[in-house]
């Protein structure tokens, strides 16, 4: 299986599409509601608008999430194709992302985190476009604006605004003008929405209140099943091994590739403390954390000198996903 997904031919695209359909056939056939999460009870403005458009039936919401995920898989491949930081054209980041996010079947519903993660993905692409750009790089304003817009869907994305400052530090000499551009970029969506609230007669304080609740109110506790615990611990060990493998080789890479991986590592570094330290954040953060994780794990699968071990590990990851999905299917 690993040999198949490491390629780039039409057969790989077909295999990825089949895997996507198989892993989402149950939520599409038997769509579930999103539950009583804080971002559902007190939705951010853009997510509230999205929910109004989709209505109360869960099926349009699941279909929308499926389409968002499909676009994310495309972007994951496209980012590596344009920057070429893994140094091999491969569809593997898409399939690894699909597998990692499928370890939590309860996330396969309408949620604001997946579209917010899409905007974060686009923001990271804009940050890397600033590499060797002369003069003031307005890419950081664009990236911050995308993150700010994403936080209008999922407020927790605000914590990832740090990535714009990290991007400046990684790619360029830090200047006050570009830091200010980043801050203005992340605040601009809030100023636009506040203006809309004022014009439409709504209280501007509503925006601050709902943002505060989404950022700091305690999330509903999530109970992991035994098979999910095993699968997530195993995936965590794989990720740690992949990080060690990457760090041992990162200084031999080209400058742009090295800087891209550092940006991705920072994205992962932010995800972990946000999950454990911020009370409003729960397992939905997987949609975001799986972005850098998928590239780091892909790097290990592509460049490991062992022929057997990566294949065994990849097969084990696939089997764990199948196990989690089957248990979820039978328990529902």
Domain extents for the chain? 2-331
Confidence category of residue 92, pLDDT binned at 50, 70, 90: very high
**Residue 49: partners with Cβ closer than 8 Å, 6 or more residues away:** none
- CB under 8 Å, gap of 24 or more: what pairs does 123-127 form? 123/147, 123/150, 123/163, 123/164, 124/79, 124/163, 124/167, 124/263, 124/264, 124/267, 124/291, 125/75, 125/79, 125/82, 127/163, 127/164, 127/167, 127/171, 127/263
Cα–Cα dist 101/285, whole Å: 10
For residue range 312-323, what is the model confidence (pLDDT) as tens digits? Answer: 999 999 999 999
Instruction: Using the predicted structure, report yes or no on whether residue 35 has a pLDDT greater than 70.
Output: yes
pLDDT of residue 332: 64
Instruction: Using the predicted structure, report yes or no on whether residue 159 has a pLDDT greater than 80.
Output: yes
Cα–Cα dist 288/195, whole Å: 29
For residue range 237-252, what is the model confidence (pLDDT) as tens digits? Answer: 999 999 999 999 999 9
For residue range 93-152, what is the model confidence (pLDDT) as tens digits? Answer: 999 999 999 999 999 999 999 999 999 999 999 999 999 888 777 999 999 999 999 999
Cα–Cα dist 312/52, whole Å: 46
């Amino acid at each position: 299986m690993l040999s198949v997904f490491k390629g780039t031919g039409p057969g790989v695209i077909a295999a990825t599409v089949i895997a996507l359909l198989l892993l989402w056939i149950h939520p599409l056939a038997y769509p579930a509601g999103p539950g009583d999460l804080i971002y559902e009870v007190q939705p951010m403005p853009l997510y509230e608008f999205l929910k109004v458009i989709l209505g109360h039936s869960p099926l349009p919401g699941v279909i929308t999430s499926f389409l968002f995920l499909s676009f994310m898989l495309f972007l994951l491949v496209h980012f590596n194709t344009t920057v070429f930081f893994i140094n091999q054209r491969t569809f593997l980041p898409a399939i690894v992302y699909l597998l990692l996010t499928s370890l939590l079947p309860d996330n396969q519903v309408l949620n604001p985190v997946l579209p917010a993660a899409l905007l974060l993905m686009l923001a990271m692409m804009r940050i890397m476009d600033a590499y060797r750009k002369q003069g003031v790089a307005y890419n950081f304003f664009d990236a911050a604006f995308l993150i700010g817009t994403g936080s209008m869907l999922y407020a927790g994305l605000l914590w990832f605004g740090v990535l714009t400052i990290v991007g400046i530090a990684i790619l360029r000499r830090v200047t006050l003008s570009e830091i200010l551009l980043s801050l203005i970029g992340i605040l601009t969506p809030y100023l636009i929405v506040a203006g809309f609230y004022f014009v439409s007669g709504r209280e501007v304080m509503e925006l601050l209140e709902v943002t505060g609740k989404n950022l700091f109110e305690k999330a509903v506790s999530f109970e992991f099943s035994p098979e999910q615990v095993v699968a997530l611990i195993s995936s965590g060990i794989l990720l740690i091994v992949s990080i060690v493998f990457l760090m041992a080789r990162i200084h031999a890479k080209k400058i742009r590739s090295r800087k891209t991986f550092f940006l991705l590592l920072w994205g992962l570094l932010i995800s972990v403390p946000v999950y454990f330290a911020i009370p409003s954040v729960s397992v939905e953060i997987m949609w975001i954390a799986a972005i850098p994780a998928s590239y780091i794990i892909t790097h290990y699968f592509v460049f490991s000198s062992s022929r057997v071990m990566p294949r065994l590990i990849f097969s084990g990851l696939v089997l764990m996903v199948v196990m989690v999905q089957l248990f979820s299917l039978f328990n529902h």
